[in-house]
Amino acid sequence: MQYENLKIEITDGIAVITISREKALNALNSQTMLELRYFFSEAGLKIPGLKGVVLTGAGEKAFVAGADITEFSGLDAAQGAAFARRGQDIFFLIEHFHLPVVAAVNGFALGGGCELAMACHLRVAGEKARFGQPEVNLGLIPGYGGTQRLVQYIGKGKALELLMTADMIGAEEAHRLGLANCVVPAGEEVAKAKEIIEKTSAKAPVAISKIIECVNACFEPGTDGFAKEVEAFGQCCNTEDFREGASAFVEKRKANFQGR
């Protein structure tokens, strides 16, 4: 697939994906969503030596200011449900990606943009970042997982408040509530996200992927997260990385993990 709305740069094993629709405040239209699906289901799985992914938005105003309302303003109930399901399926791909995906939130993360940030494993907020789910202002609710993930991150009471009032919160409050992992000066979001990925890349790759699987299992209906943890622990015990990590610990040296 040829990317129209995503700019992808890979440096030192870190893929920086920039959603590049600056004039539209990087709103998520169908083409952008197709490109995200392609990267996280196909292209991103084939990049040799990939350590992780950073997602950000073009310009200084917005990470992603929402979904493109012109594409769903005339949908009926069945079409609307299908539209939301497609979006959720794409965001599930991000949430379940086997390597860390870090959102570098450099401005407005509203509606679908807030939902995209929440689908990432971690969120670095620039000091000018603003988060919100303003869908009720349009007579809608979030459709890409916002009603579920926001509760997971900040709790039921505060999530209900933000969802029903459509209030925006700044970077510091997002950090205090647990929505953002850290806050950095404006313009340093991508650098901090890369720093985090460099740190995780020094750990055992198989263990990192299993951490992602197990934490996600905690919120999957019908999945026993504790049983998933037991299974994943056993699988890690059977890896070369575990043997290398144990040897390195005993020998008091830095482990040289190979992802096997």
Domains of the chain, by residue range, sit at: 6-201, 205-250
Report the pLDDT averaged over residues 226-250: 89
Rounded Cα–Cα distance for residues 212 and 200 (Å): 12
| Confidence band, pLDDT 50/70/90 cuts, at residue 74 | confident
125 secondary structure, DSSP code = E
Residues of the chain with pLDDT > 70, as a percent, come to 100
The whole model's pTM is what? 0.94
Question: What ranges in 51-188 are assigned the alpha helix state H?
Answer: 77-95, 112-119, 146-154, 156-165, 171-177
Q: What is the pLDDT of residues 51-69, one digit of tens each?
A: 999 999 999 999 999 988 8
pLDDT score at 256:
82
Looking at domain 6-201, what is its CATH homologous superfamily?
A: 2-enoyl-CoA Hydratase; Chain A, domain 1 (3.90.226.10)
Residues 6+ apart with CB under 8 A from 126: 104, 105, 106, 107, 171, 183, 184, 185, 186, 187, 188, 189
Contacts of 175-178 spanning 24+ positions with Cβ under 8 A = 175/125, 177/153, 178/153, 178/154
Contact (CB, 8 A) for 128 and 107: yes
Q: H/E element holding 218?
A: none
More confidently predicted of 162 and 241:
162
pLDDT score at 246:
81
pLDDT score at 133:
98
Q: Has residue 38 got a pLDDT over 90?
A: yes
Least confident of 109-113, 188-192, 218-222, 249-253: 249-253
| Confidence band, pLDDT 50/70/90 cuts, at residue 187 | very high
pLDDT score at 141:
96
Question: What mean pLDDT is reported for the chain?
Answer: 95
Residue 51: name the closest of 12, 18, 19, 17 by CA: 12
**Catalytic positions:** 115, 135
Residue 228: name the closest of 153, 119, 205, 220 by CA: 220
